[in-house]
Structure 1
Amino acid sequence: MGDAEDRGSSSSEARDAAATQLAAARSGDGDAFGRLVGPLRDELRVHCYRMLGSVHDAEDAVQETLDRAWRSLERFDGHGSIRPWLYKIATNRSLTIIERRGRRELPTDLSPGGAPLTETAWLEPYPVRLMDWTARLSPEARIVARESVELAFVAALQHLSASQRAVLLLRDVLGYTAGEVADVLDTTVAAVNSALQRARKVIGRLRPEASQQQTLQTLGDTEQRKVAQRYVTAWEAGDVDAIVAMLTKDARYSMPPLTRWYAGPVAVRGFLVEVVLRHRWRFVPTWANGQLAFGTYLWSDERGAYVPAGLDVLTLHGRQVAEVVSFLDADFPTFGLPAQLWEEIFLGAR
C-alpha cells in the first residue's frame, strides 16, 4: 500500500474512532469524552495563552471550555471534527476573561497615565514543554505555531482590542476563513475583515521584522549553543564587560513585576554593575516562548544553595542580545528547572 493510501486509511480510522468516542460521550461516558478532547487540550491552551498572555488564565479558560463542552455536548451537530467547536468556546471564554481583567503588560509597555501599578497584570512566559504537540505539525506549521508565542508577538497582541486579537489569531495563526471567524464571533464577514486590517496594522508596527524562529534557524544549533555558553560564562564569571559586549546598541532589559527597565548598553551596564558583582550566579539554559532562556540562580548563604532569581528570556539579533526579560516570579519547575542548585554539583563538573 502506498503512502497516500496509508495516510487516507489512518485518517479514516481516526474519524471513525472520534465518531465512536463522540457517541459514547453523548451517552454519558466521561472517559470517552476525555479521549475525544484530550489531544486538543494543549493547542487550546496555547490559543488561550495568545489571547490572554497568561499560562494560568489560559489553563482556567481551557478547563472552563471543556466543562462547558461536556455540559453542552448535545449542541454539537456531530458533523466533522469537534476541534472548531472547541475553539469557538475557548475563544469566547477568553474574550469574557479579557473583559473582566483587561490586558497584560511588560514594563516596557507601560505608558504614562496608564492603569495604576497595583492593578497591572503582567505578561507571563510560556514553557516550551507545553508546545510538544507541535511535533505532529508540518515543519512550516510548527514554525508558525512557535512564532505565535514569541514574547514580542504576544506582547503586541495585548495592544489590540479583544475582538481584533481573536480575529488575527483565528485568521493568521489558525488559518480560519473570514466566514468561519464570523461564525465563531457571531459577527459579519465585513466586520471580521475590517478588524483584521486594523489588527495587522498594529502588529506590523509593534512586532520585529524577523522572528526568533528565523533568527535561531539562521544561527543553527552549534551557534546557538555558543551564544548561550558565552552568556552563561560571562554572568557566572561576573564579567560585566563581556555581557555588555553581547548587547545590541538598542538592547533593553526588564524584570517584571518590577516596573523599572533599562535601554541601551550604557544604562544596562549601570544596572549590571550593581547586580552581577553583588552575587554569585549560576545559569541553566532552557526555552520559553520559543526563545532561548535561562533559569538564573544566586547563592544564598542561609540556605547553602543557589536559589531561583528569575527566568531570563532572550531576544537575539544574530549573535547579539537585543532584549532580556527576566521574569522574577516564574515557576521554575514548570520550565523543567530545579528548585535550587548546590555548590558541589558545579565543583564536580568544572
Structure 2
Amino acid sequence: MKILKYLFFLLLIVIIGGAIYFATKDGSFDVAETKVINAPAEVVYNNVKDFKSWPQWGPWMEEDENMKIDYAEKTEGEGASYSWTSEAVGDGSMKTVKVIPNKEIQQEIVFNTPIGDSKSDVYWYFEETENSGQTKVTWGMKGEQSFMEKVFMSFQEDDMETGISKMFASGLNNLEEVVKESMKQYAINVDGITRYSGGYYMYNTTAAKQSEIGDKMGSMLGQVMGYMQQNNIQSSGMPFTIYNNIDEANGAVIFSAAIPIKDRVITPDGSPVLTGFMESTTAVKTTLKGNYTNLPEAYEATKKYIAENNMEMNTDANMFEVYATDPGDVPNPSNWITEIYIPVIQKTKPEAL
C-alpha cells in the first residue's frame, strides 16, 4: 500500500509539474511568410481579396479535396466571411475586418477543435518593390495558444509555428502560379470590316527592330504627351501606333507613336513632335484582349480573315493599332484591349451592314 501511495504522489507531482510547465510556457506566436511575385500589387491583391478565389491556391485544399466550404453573402471587403468543414484539417471560419485596397488585408480566423475554439489574427501586406511590376507579398498569423493547445502541440511532429510557416509558404507558391496564369489569359476576335474615320494626330517616328517596338513605345508616347501638356493640347482619343514601313526580311520597322487630336496643330521647325492626318479608310478590325505579346497572333488571324473573305491589303494605307486601355489604369495584362486595323481593298461588293 505504501508503494501505491508513493506512486500516487509521484504521479500527482508529475501532473502538477506538467500543468505548471505548460501554463507558464509562452504560447504567443507570430508567423509570417514573404514572397516576391512578378506581378503588380493590384493583380496579386485581386486574387486574394475574395474568399471565393482562395480554393484556387489555398494549401489546405491539397490536404482535403472534399472540404466543404460555405460562403457568406459578402465574400470580399470588410465584413466578408466564409466557413469550412473538413475531416482532415478540421472546421473553422474566417472574417475580413480591415482592408486597404492593394496594400493590406486584416482578418480573424477561428478553428473549431475538440479541445475548444481558437481565434487568431491573419494579415496580408502587398508592397511594391524597387523593380516595377513586382510585389512583395507577406502572409502571416498571430495569436495566443490556449493551455490545451500548448499541451496538444507539444506532442506533434511540428510545432505550431513550423506548421503555419509550411502552409503559408506553400500557399504563396500556389498564389504565384495562379497570378501568372491569370496574366497569360488572352482572346482574339476578328470583328470584321469597318470604316475608320481618321483625323488629325500628334506623333513622333523612329526606326527599330520589331522586337524593340514595345521598349521604345512608352518613351515616344511620353514625349508626345509631354508636348501636348506643355502646349495645352487636348487629346481626342486613345494612343495608337502607325506602321509606316515593315521590312519582314530584316525584322525592322519604321513606326509612329501617335495621339489623336481634334484640330490641326502647327508645330515649330525642328520640333520632334509633329502633326499628321489620317484619311478615312476601310479596314478589317481585330480586338485583342490580353498582353501585347499576343499581337503577332492577332495580326495573323486578321490576315487569314482577309484572305478567306476575298479581300486584299491596301498597300497605299498603313496598318495601325489603337490602345483602348491604359496599362497604368489596368495593371493586369489579360485585361488590356488593343484594336488592330489593317486597311483593305474589297474585290467584291460587301453585303450591307
**Bigger Rg, structure 1 or 2:** 2
- Please indicate, yes or no, whether the TM-score normalized by the shorter chain is above 0.5: no
Relative CO higher for 1 or 2, CA cutoff 8 Å, sep ≥ 6? 2
More helix by share: 1
User: Normalising by the residue count of structure 1, what TM-score does the alignment of the two structures yield?
Assistant: 0.23
